[in-house]
Structure 1
């Protein structure tokens, strides 16, 4: 029989925070927060959108005056806010993690409805097209997040605790 080595315990939140601060410079932290915002928003929006389409759960489409408000509109609003902070904000404001998270979230809201923006309505919800887009963007988002976090992950899981 083979003996199984138990998996190591996941790092404590304090270890993760310390690695985040010590292994990543300000630019790397901003990049990581942008990827985290993108990945989490994309995954959440996909889940909500599928639940609306299938009539499952509490979520419904938002309409004003009979016109459906697509979530790319909220993405454009978020990116406009981030742009205003970038143009007019002080350095400490521009480098705030909420700005990077907002950037990633706004971008995900737009990217998720990119086919709709190009007026490819029947492609947007075609099963094979939608699944391949979801998987493709999801893999890119996850890959980008992991690559941005690599210095932290090496410290946390590379045995240098």
Structure 2
């Protein structure tokens, strides 16, 4: 284990990324544990930071940590020094605090424990996955090939390959396949398959290309909806359950006037 860490992480120039990812995961798990304890109002856990009765969200602390870690990382020389690793870890802590309240910043409203708040957990999972791929040595769009590029013809062929990979990944993302498109930035076969296959029914690509009222559009929409029910729905249920287990279940919406409060609300 020590030999792998020295050879692949330290000698491979990925020490700062390792420190960033480790601190990011630990900070996210800690802050989610903290807010769940506060939500349960346990007596032995400190509450929210409320100087003068004003609740300061942890995204504020995250921004401060990101500024200190990011600017400090630009100033400190040497990517493999203790200071560089420490600042990268501080940047990871700040990034975790910011992304944990990503939905709150996006909506400019406290949606932390609502259904919209699930977006924060999804963004964190994506950040962990992409950082993990980079830690394994994968570089987006095959940029590693540029390091060994020699002649003009080779440079142009690599540039064309990068553009094609980016185009396939963009089409995949427009088709509503976020995970496939992002993974395709690192492993091109994912974006190629995602770009060829049908779009998700509610994606921008489906709205532009699968026009309802036309024979071709209705047929593709029907196929996309059937595929969504068969393949996407079970995956969505699994990822939702995983997110709830890690980050906590959102608060159910208040019952509408005249609705039986004992009836559990529908969940997407």
**Shorter chain as normaliser: what TM range?**
0.5 to 0.7
Partner residue, 2:65: 78
1:115 paired to 2:103: yes
Partner residue, 1:30: 16
- Measured after TM superposition, the shift of residue 106 of structure 1 is 0.6
- Measured after TM superposition, the shift of residue 102 of structure 1 is 0.8
Q: Which has the larger radius of gyration?
A: 2
Q: For the residues of structure 2 that align with 1:131 and 1:83, how far apart are their CA atoms?
A: 27
Provide Cα deviations, 1:21-46, integer angstroms capped at 9, x if missing partner.
Answer: 11223532211221111111111111
1:51 to 17, 37, 44: 37
Q: Give the TM-score normalised by structure 2.
A: 0.43
Partner residue, 1:21: 6
Q: For the residues of structure 2 that align with 1:75 and 1:37, how far apart are their CA atoms?
A: 12
Equivalences, count: 134
Q: Give the TM-score normalised by structure 1.
A: 0.68
Q: For the residues of structure 2 that align with 1:43 and 1:88, how far apart are their CA atoms?
A: 29
- Measured after TM superposition, the shift of residue 66 of structure 1 is 1.4
1:68 paired to 2:48: no
Provide the secondary structure at the position in 2 that maps to 1:98.
helix
> Could you say which structure has the greater relative contact order, defined with CA pairs below 8 angstroms and 6 or more residues apart?
1
Cα pair distance change 1:93/1:37, threshold 3 Å: same
Paired residues of 2:100 and 2:124 also in contact (CA < 8 A): no
Provide the secondary structure at the position in 2 that maps to 1:123.
coil
Partner residue, 1:139: 125
Q: For the residues of structure 2 that align with 1:81 and 1:133, how far apart are their CA atoms?
A: 23
- Listed as ranges, the gaps of 5+ residues in structure 1 are 1-14, 152-161
Cα pair distance change 1:26/1:71, threshold 3 Å: farther
- Listed as ranges, the gaps of 5+ residues in structure 2 are 138-268
- Measured after TM superposition, the shift of residue 145 of structure 1 is 5.2
**Where do 4+ consecutive residues of structure 1 move more than 4 Å?**
92-95
RMSD across aligned C-alpha pairs, in angstroms?
A: 2.6
Partner residue, 1:100: 88
